[in-house]
Amino acid sequence: MRALKFGAVGIANTALDLGLFSVLTLVVGIQAPAANVVSYSSGIALSFALNRAWTFRDRNRQRPWLRLALFASGNLVGLALSTAVVASLVRAWGPLPAKAVSLGFTFAWNYIFANFIVFKQS
């Protein structure tokens, strides 16, 4: 059930990420790796708030600033992973398919990190 909640939060963040990525690459003309940094980063705070309030609300709620720092750190790794995938696939597949492939990698990483590090059972 927790993974489904995490997925639902991820849908909201992914919609924001993909929408912004699409506008930045296809309308504004920003290179895909740079657009990915901006679009991916846009959902980190929202993701933390929703996951803390809903997905992992039964977990220890102490030290929210530490958890936010951990969450942001894990998401920076996810951002690096996402950007590496986008940069390696964009020339062959185009920006949107490259971004779509990156989503699977980052979902897995972010869920594992959030579940076992940021919001781990006390």
Look at residue 40 in the predicted model and tell me its pLDDT.
84
pTM equals 0.75
Distance, C-alpha 67 to centroid of its chain: 16
Whole-angstrom distance, CA of residue 115 vs CA of residue 9: 14
Domain that holds residue 102: 2-118
State the DSSP H helix or E strand holding residue 118, giving kind and residue range, or none if neither.
none
Q: If you write DSSP's letter for every residue of 4-27 in order, what string do you get?
A: HHHHHHHHHHHHHHHHHHHIIIII
Q: Decide which of 73 and 119 is more confident.
A: 73
Write out pLDDT tens, residues 63-118: 888 888 998 899 999 989 999 999 999 999 999 999 899 988 898 998 999 899 98
Total domain count, the chain: 1
Number of alpha carbons in the 13 Å side-chain half-sphere of residue 29: 0
Q: Decide which of 80 and 120 is more confident.
A: 80
Q: 């992992």: which residue's tokens?
A: 56
